């Protein structure tokens, strides 16, 4: 690839080997608005496509991804480090499913639907919901799930008739470029799906631009800035941000299953998931056996290059993540945590490798409540009972996801309903994000709005309510002029419709007929005399 001028290029690196994967041209901030303008022109064309045509094109994109599944998974692994098995299973497979899920349910989600009206005054009216595309949507996606997360915005946006301007992470520009190609090759017009590349200033320019709505996934700090900037032009936003996800392990949990689930939930993708397990609250009766099982399983994890099919834990995605985790572990130790295993950088492997780390504490660590660690670190703490575990789980500025481990369905559901988070899994972790119909949201500092499922698609449209009165010659009694007779009629009508005493309702009938019968005249000239 020909070398571009330094100020206009973005270089991608394999975090496991630090080798360069190539360069892409940066979209300068001053050029972003022109890209949005082009997407606006594409929007007027794309929204005129029949819904069935858009769904057909998305199905072709699905098949394109399926046919290129292995190469896409390898690209994800090379560019951000995660093991190939995860890239294939939780990114590509889930991405193929997501595209098909929306394309096959286009009619169900986007066809006009009736709204039955219960009130006697309105029961003869036509009443529908109509779904209008919003226009040009800005989609800013992160590096940790560089395929599935952007697809969660791109697919429903295109299906519902919007055009998009997509900015992938600066860490994974080639995955973003490949996504763009998949959809263009399927038949999405170039003016409908635009891609821009760059770092934070390019993303900031997109938020400031004339896009109609911004969909951002990333850190809470940046998400807050996105919301502040968007508010200046009254743009709506959907923000999927950070988490500090708790796991509650009850004394009746299957220790083998719970420990395996926590190890996978804490260390898959090297802990770089917004819904990774970070805090584990274990009943004191089983905490020793539980932590022994966790440590035994962590020590069996195989570290290495993600392209090696035997690798369980690969590198962190960037140098900044690498240094951040080391700093946070040191801080936790100063606060009183014990390192039970791990806790070291693995410089000899050549890339950004950090040992999977298990910390133990018997007192709350503020850093685990205030910060999202986003790395291969899990903190285990004993609790006296379910109530204390719930209390500790909820003592966080985040509210994204959580898990509960117990043999009792009733107990698991009871605890889950008391946890302050957007989602809870009982006896599993993380994979609810791969269940496309499971609407995904966060509370507190973890999110605004929805992705995935029907609720995620609703974020892409203006849900317009339309009401039609076929009795166009009937004067409405609530129109002008007001007066004592009108008020008396309304009072009688309220008694007839809502009073619990049947006798009082029957007594109100003559008054209701006296007042309302004159509004049943089908003659507009007579209405002028009312």
Cis omega (within 30 of 0) for bond into 443: no
Classify residue 89 by its DSSP letter.
I
Q: What is the DSSP letter of 255?
A: H
- DSSP secondary structure code for residue 268 in this structure: G
Q: What is the per-residue DSSP string for 17-46?
A: T--EEEEEE---HHHHHHHHHHHHHHHHHH
The secondary structure of residue 401, as a DSSP letter, is E
- The whole-angstrom separation of Cα 451 and Cα 58 is 18
Going by the DSSP 8-state scheme, the letter that residue 68 receives in this structure is: T
CB–CB of 253/404 below 8 Å?
A: no
In 262-336, DSSP assigns E strands to 277-283
Q: 409 and 311 in contact (C-beta within 8 Å)?
A: no
List residues with catalytic annotation: 240, 274
Q: Alpha-carbon distance 243 to 275, whole Å?
A: 6
Q: Cβ-count burial of 429 within 10 angstroms (0-12 exposed, 13-18 middle, 19+ buried)?
A: buried
Q: Tell me how far apart the terminal alpha carbons of the chain are, to the nearest angstrom.
A: 81
Distance (Å, whole) CA 509 – CA 528: 26
| Number of other residues whose CB lies within 10 A of the CB of residue 473 | 11
Of the candidates 362, 367, 345, 342, the residue with the CA atom closest to the CA atom of residue 354: 345
Cα-to-chain-centroid distance, residue 54: 23
Can you state the angle between helices 94-104 and 148-159, rounded to 10 degrees? 10
Report which of 278, 210, 253 is spatially closest to residue 33, judged by C-alpha positions. Answer: 210
**Radius of gyration of the CA atoms of the chain, in A:** 28
Helix axes 287-300, 255-267, angle to 10 degrees: 50
Cα-based distances in Å from 299 to 83, 202, 409: 17, 42, 31
Burial of 367 (0-12, 13-18, 19+ CB in 10 A): middle
CA distance 526 to 522: 8
- Within 8 A by CB and 6+ apart from 323, the residues are none
Are 249 and 405 spatial neighbours (Cβ–Cβ below 8 Å)?
yes
The three-point CA angle 308-310-316 to 5° equals 60
């Amino acid at each position: 690839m020909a070398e571009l001028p330094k100020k206009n290029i973005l270089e991608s690196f394999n975090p496991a080997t630090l080798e360069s994967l190539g360069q892409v041209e940066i979209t300068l901030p001053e050029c972003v608005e022109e890209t949005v303008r082009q997407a606006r022109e594409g929007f007027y064309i794309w929204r005129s496509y029949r819904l069935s045509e858009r769904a057909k094109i998305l199905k072709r994109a699905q098949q394109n991804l399926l046919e290129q599944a292995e190469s896409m998974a390898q690209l994800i692994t090379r560019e951000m480090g995660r093991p190939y098995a995860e890239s294939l299973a939780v990114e590509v497979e889930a991405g193929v499913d997501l595209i098909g899920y929306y394309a096959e349910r286009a009619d169900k989600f986007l066809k006009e639907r009736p709204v039955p009206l219960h009130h006697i005054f309105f029961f003869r009216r036509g009443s529908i919901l109509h779904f209008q595309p919003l226009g040009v949507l800005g989609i800013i996606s992160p590096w940790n799930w560089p395929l599935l997360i952007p697809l969660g915005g791109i697919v429903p946006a295109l299906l519902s008739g919007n055009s998009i301007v997509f900015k992938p992470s600066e860490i994974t520009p080639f995955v973003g470029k490949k996504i763009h190609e998949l959809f263009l090759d399927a038949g999405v017009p170039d003016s409908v799906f635009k891609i821009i590349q760059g770092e934070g200033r390019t993303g900031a320019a997109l938020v400031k631009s004339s896009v109609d709505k911004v969909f951002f996934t990333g850190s809470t700090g940046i998400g807050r800035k996105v919301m502040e900037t968007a508010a200046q032009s009254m743009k709506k936003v959907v923000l999927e941000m950070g988490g500090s996800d708790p796991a509650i392990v009850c004394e009746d949990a299957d220790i083998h299953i719970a420990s395996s689930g926590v190890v996978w939930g804490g260390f898959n993708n090297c802990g770089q998931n917004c819904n990774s397990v970070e805090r584990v609250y274990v009943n004191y009766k089983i905490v020793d056996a539980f932590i022994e099982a966790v440590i035994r399983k962590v020590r069996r994890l195989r570290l290495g290059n993600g392209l090696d099919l035997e690798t369980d834990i690969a590198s962190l995605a960037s140098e900044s993540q690498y240094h951040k985790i080391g700093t946070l572990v040191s801080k936790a130790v100063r606060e009183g945590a014990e390192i039970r295993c791990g806790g070291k950088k693995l410089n000899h492997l050549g890339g950004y490798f950090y040992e999977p780390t298990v910390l133990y504490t018997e007192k709350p660590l503020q850093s685990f409540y205030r910060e999202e660690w986003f790395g291969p670190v899990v903190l285990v703490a004993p609790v006296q009972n379910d109530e204390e575990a719930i209390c500790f789980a909820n003592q966080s500025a985040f509210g994204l996801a959580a898990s509960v481990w117990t043999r009792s369905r009733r107990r698991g559901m009871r605890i889950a309903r008391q946890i302050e988070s957007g989602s809870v899994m009982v006896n599993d972790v993380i994979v609810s994000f791969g269940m496309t119909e499971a609407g995904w949201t966060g509370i507190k500092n973890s999110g605004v709005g929805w992705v995935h499922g029907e609720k995620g698609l609703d974020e892409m449209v203006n849900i317009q309510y339309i009401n039609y009165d076929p009795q166009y010659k009937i004067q409405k009694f609530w129109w002008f002029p007001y007066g004592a007779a009108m008020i008396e009629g309304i009072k009688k009508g309220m008694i007839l419709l809502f009073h619990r005493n049947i006798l009082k309702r029957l007594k109100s009938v003559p008054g209701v007929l006296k007042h309302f019968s004159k509004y049943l005249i089908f003659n507009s000239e007579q209405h002028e005399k009312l």
